[in-house]
């Protein structure tokens, strides 16, 4: 494999790598603004000077090094200057008046709406200041909230709360997700705490989002409802609010979640449909006109879907492809991908850290690089078109899964097993659904035709959801992932790249590099498994719906059986905590239990060398014969006794108030035990105490 030859044919790949490194470096350090402006210019001018001087072949590396440094400095500078504004110190965590525009269409919940707001001005000490910040708002439902549209302006008086750090050391980091999307805080608004000050819609994107709502209404008018409406509106319009969480989970477990995110595949299908519609146009002038029309229509589609990052990536990539056709120049797919990634990162450097950005580009590179080679492994006669088509679809899924494996292991709790099977169904199914939905929207002015197409679309959507659910429920449909570090995910990528290059070149150094990367991946697991094999710990996890107390001993976990809320959420907590501790066995401890390792009676518990009391709804007033000091007091749920009813001769070294306790009840316990060491799970996050 000639790396230099590849880079010469794909110059944007050469630029993208140092540019991305510069963005990453910005996360760890800062520099004065003057340095950020001057440094890229100095490096790039130096590279130009070296190029003009025609220095000897012996020193050709100097120009490459200077270009590398210049691209890196440029990435660093752009990331530095694109940092979001900070909420004024005077307004942070205190009640102020704000004026803000509604960024997107509100997402409806059972009792409240969620919406992103762009703050335009803040009133501090009777003085309005212009400001630019993005926050997420939870607004309790009423007639006014239900009529909110994207692009309208509201005023409210509230305190902006800073984003909470993750409460548990495992699971999805929602605060990081919000920060990567530019969100800097959150608010909660009751009816009467806000008012609409400008009902007109401002902003091109907001007009597009409202147009999307109109199109969703046309689908409903044609007879689509429930998950069928959800699938159609998600596939074509990127509107996900109509599809149930259970259906989303089925698509995730089946390895077909990418279908529910409007992305490259969807934009590619739309592009193919546009190509078919314009086949009638001929001639050289018409050829150029078609390319321009397709680019304009693709961007119109991108605006209607809300300019989500995945659509933006795909639209930029297809725009580069169409521009290449327009100037009659064949473009390398790798150079096109790198150019589109460079443009998007130049606009928004934070996109580099988003899972969707990483997964989509990794998947496309994997498909382009690996899919043809996988197809060639099994030769199928051209006469067997159906079998060959199914094998090619399977090869696409396998290639994408191999390329995205490091990211899936890092970001997700599970890896789907039957992704190859589900994609045989969802890939052609999605193409049919997109075509039918576009046809339905086209004939929507004709009520009878829209109803007929709606019946067919609804049947196809129902069938697609049904088969995906069947695949998701097959035995062993997912493999639970252990949580791995960034370095381990990079090691997995190193293993994959090393093996693939070795298979192509048969050079042993690539194989040795792959084995070394495998060792880097395995070593932390081995060390943690050895460390946890004798570990003993008491953990009280953050869980607002269930009291989750875990006792850990080696590869065994004992849980207090005090689950009275959401059983599914409790199951996910148990699973996540067991993966965190590498526990292979779980047992539940009943209120009156004389188990092998955990003894519990009337709320009092003993585990190894520690003892304590768990106060819950089942706890009733009691007496204590003589003064004593216990290690832990754990308060959970709606306690059956008040804090002052705990006997005065009973002391505790640590008082833990879990997240199921109401805030006003928690304050009562905090006052009563003010002289004790208190850990409030709702405020401070999970409590983890290693006993050895």
Domain extent listing, the chain: 3-81, 95-202, 208-480, 486-532, 536-690
Quick one: pLDDT at residue 655? Answer: 93
Which range in 96-110, 128-142, 266-280, 459-473 is most confidently predicted, on average pLDDT? 459-473
Residues paired with 480 in a beta bridge: 414
The pTM of the full predicted model, rounded to 2 decimals, is: 0.73
Quick one: pLDDT at residue 476? Answer: 79
pLDDT at residue 126 above 80?
no
Q: Which of 45-54, 364-373, 669-678 has the lowest mean pLDDT?
A: 45-54
- How far apart CA 501 and CA 486 sit, in angstroms, is 22
Mean pLDDT for the stretch of residues 481-492: 74
Exposure string for 173-197, b = 16+ CB within 10 A, e = fewer: eebeebebebbbbbbebeeeebeee
For 151, the token pair is: 């692009």
Quick one: pLDDT at residue 459? Answer: 92
What confidence tier does 632 reach under pLDDT thresholds 50, 70, 90? Answer: very high
Q: Which of 184-198, 233-247, 623-637 has the lowest mean pLDDT?
A: 233-247
Q: Where are the alpha helices (DSSP H) in 443-534?
A: 447-472, 486-505, 508-532
Locate tokens 């197809």: which residue? 375
Residues 306 and 104 sit within 8 Å (Cβ to Cβ): yes
Angle at 155 between CA 154 and CA 159, to 5 degrees: 125
Look at 479 and 682; give whichever has higher pLDDT.
682
- How far apart CA 73 and CA 40 sit, in angstroms, is 5
Pairing of strands 153-159, 183-189: unpaired
- How far apart CA 669 and CA 674 sit, in angstroms, is 8
Q: Which CATH number fits domain 95-202: 2.60.40, 2.40.50, 3.10.20, 3.40.800?
A: 2.40.50
What confidence tier does 3 reach under pLDDT thresholds 50, 70, 90? Answer: low
Which range in 195-209, 274-288, 644-658 is most confidently predicted, on average pLDDT? 644-658
What mean pLDDT, rounded, does the chain reach?
79
pLDDT at residue 277 above 70?
no
pLDDT at residue 679 above 90?
yes
What confidence tier does 524 reach under pLDDT thresholds 50, 70, 90? Answer: low
* pLDDT-above-70 percentage for the chain: 85
Q: Which of 152-166, 282-296, 400-414 has the lowest mean pLDDT?
A: 282-296
Quick one: pLDDT at residue 280? Answer: 58
pLDDT at residue 487 above 90?
no
Q: Which H helix or E strand runs over 51? A: helix 33-52
Tell me the CA distances in angstroms from 195 to 5, 121, 144, 434, 455, one per residue in order: 62, 15, 8, 39, 41
pLDDT at residue 594 above 60?
no
- The backbone torsions φ and ψ at residue 434, rounded to the nearest 5 degrees and listed phi first, read -65, -45
Mean pLDDT for the stretch of residues 187-201: 84
Q: Which of 39-48, 337-346, 376-385 has the lowest mean pLDDT?
A: 376-385
Look at 205 and 187; give whichever has higher pLDDT.
187
Instruction: Give pLDDT tens digits for 566-591.
Output: 566 777 778 778 777 777 677 777 65
Quick one: pLDDT at residue 657? Answer: 93
Quick one: pLDDT at residue 587? Answer: 74
What confidence tier does 634 reach under pLDDT thresholds 50, 70, 90? Answer: very high
Quick one: pLDDT at residue 281? Answer: 60
Quick one: pLDDT at residue 146? Answer: 82
Quick one: pLDDT at residue 4? Answer: 62
- How far apart CA 365 and CA 371 sit, in angstroms, is 10
Quick one: pLDDT at residue 566? Answer: 54
Q: Where are the alpha helices (DSSP H) in 238-353?
A: 245-253, 264-277, 283-304, 309-326, 333-347
Residues 494 and 513 sit within 8 Å (Cβ to Cβ): yes
Which range in 86-95, 97-106, 458-467, 570-579 is most confidently predicted, on average pLDDT? 458-467
Angle at 605 between CA 602 and CA 607, to 5 degrees: 160
Look at 571 and 19; give whichever has higher pLDDT.
19
Residues paired with 47 in a beta bridge: none
For 223, the token pair is: 């007879």
Look at 563 and 506; give whichever has higher pLDDT.
506
């Amino acid at each position: 494999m000639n790396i230099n030859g590849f880079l010469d044919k794909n110059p944007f790949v050469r630029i993208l790598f140092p540019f991305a490194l510069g963005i990453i470096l910005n996360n760890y350090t800062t520099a004065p603004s003057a340095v950020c402006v001057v440094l890229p210019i100095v490096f790039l001018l130096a590279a130009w000077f070296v190029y003009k001087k025609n220095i000897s072949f012996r020193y050709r590396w100097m120009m490459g090094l200077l270009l590398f440094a210049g691209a890196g400095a440029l990435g660093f500078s752009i990331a530095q200057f694109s940092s979001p504004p900070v909420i004024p110190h005077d307004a942070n965590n205190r009640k102020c008046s704000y004026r803000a525009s509604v960024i997107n269409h509100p997402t409806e919940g059972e009792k409240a709406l969620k919406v992103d707001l762009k703050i335009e001005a803040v009133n501090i000490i009777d003085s309005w200041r212009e400001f630019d910040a993005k926050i997420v708002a939870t607004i309790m439902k009423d007639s006014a909230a239900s009529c909110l549209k994207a692009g309208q302006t509201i005023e409210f008086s509230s305190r902006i709360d800073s984003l909470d750090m993750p409460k548990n050391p495992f699971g999805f980091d929602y605060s990081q997700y919000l920060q990567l999307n530019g969100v800097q805080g959150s608010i909660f608004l009751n009816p009467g705490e806000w008012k609409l000050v400008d009902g007109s819609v401002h902003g091109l994107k907001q007009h597009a989002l409202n147009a999307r709502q109109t199109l969703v209404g046309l689908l409903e008018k044609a007879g689509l409802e429930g998950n069928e409406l959800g699938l159609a509106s998600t596939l074509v319009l990127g509107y996900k609010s109509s599809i149930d969480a259970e259906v989303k989970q089925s698509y995730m477990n089946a390895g077909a979640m990418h279908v529910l995110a409007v992305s490259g595949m969807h934009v590619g299908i739309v592009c193919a449909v546009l190509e078919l519609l314009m086949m009638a146009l001929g001639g050289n002038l018409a050829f150029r006109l078609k390319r321009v029309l397709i680019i304009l229509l693709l961007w119109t589609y991108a605006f209607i879907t809300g300019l989500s990052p995945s659509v933006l990536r795909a639209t930029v990539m297809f725009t580069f492809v169409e521009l290449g056709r327009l100037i009659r120049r064949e473009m390398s797919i790798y150079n096109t991908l790198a150019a589109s990634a460079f443009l998007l990162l130049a606009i928004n450097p934070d996109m580099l850290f988003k899972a969707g950005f990483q997964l989509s580009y990794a998947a496309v590179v994997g498909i382009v690089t690996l899919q043809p080679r996988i197809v060639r492994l099994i030769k199928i006669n051209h006469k067997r078109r159906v079998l060959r088509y199914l094998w090619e679809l399977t090869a696409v899924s396998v290639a994408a899964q191999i390329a995205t494996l490091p990211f899936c292991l890092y970001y997700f709790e599970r890896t789907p097993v039957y992704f190859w099977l589900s994609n045989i169904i969802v890939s052609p199914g999605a193409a049919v659904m997109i075509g039918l939905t576009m046809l339905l929207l086209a004939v929507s002015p004709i009520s009878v035709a829209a109803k007929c197409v709606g019946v067919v679309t609804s049947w196809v959507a129902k069938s697609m959801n049904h088969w995906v659910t069947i695949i998701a429920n097959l035995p062993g449909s997912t493999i639970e992932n252990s949580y791995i570090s960034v370095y381990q995910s990079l090691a997995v990528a190193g293993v994959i790249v090393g093996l693939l290059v070795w298979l192509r070149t048969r050079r042993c150094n690539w194989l040795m590099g792959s084995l070394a990367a495998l060792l880097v991946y395995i070593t932390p697991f081995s060390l943690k498994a050895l460390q946890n094999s004798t570990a003993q710990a008491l953990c009280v996890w953050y869980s607002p719906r269930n009291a989750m107390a875990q006792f850990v001993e080696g590869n065994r976990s004992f849980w207090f059986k005090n689950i009275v809320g959401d059983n599914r959420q409790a199951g996910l907590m148990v699973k996540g905590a067991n993966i965190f501790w590498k526990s292979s066995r779980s047992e539940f401890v009943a209120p009156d239990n004389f188990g092998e390792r955990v003894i519990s009676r009337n709320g009092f518990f003993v585990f190894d060398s520690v003892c304590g009391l768990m106060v819950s709804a089942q706890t009733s007033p009691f007496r204590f014969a003589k003064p004593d000091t216990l290690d832990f007091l754990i308060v959970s749920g709606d306690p059956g006794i008040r804090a002052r009813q705990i006997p005065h001769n009973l002391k505790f070294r640590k008082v833990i108030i879990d997240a199921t306790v109401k805030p006003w009840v928690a304050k009562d316990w905090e006052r009563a035990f003010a002289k004790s060491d208190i850990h409030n799970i709702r405020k401070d996050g999970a409590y983890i105490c290693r006993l050895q």
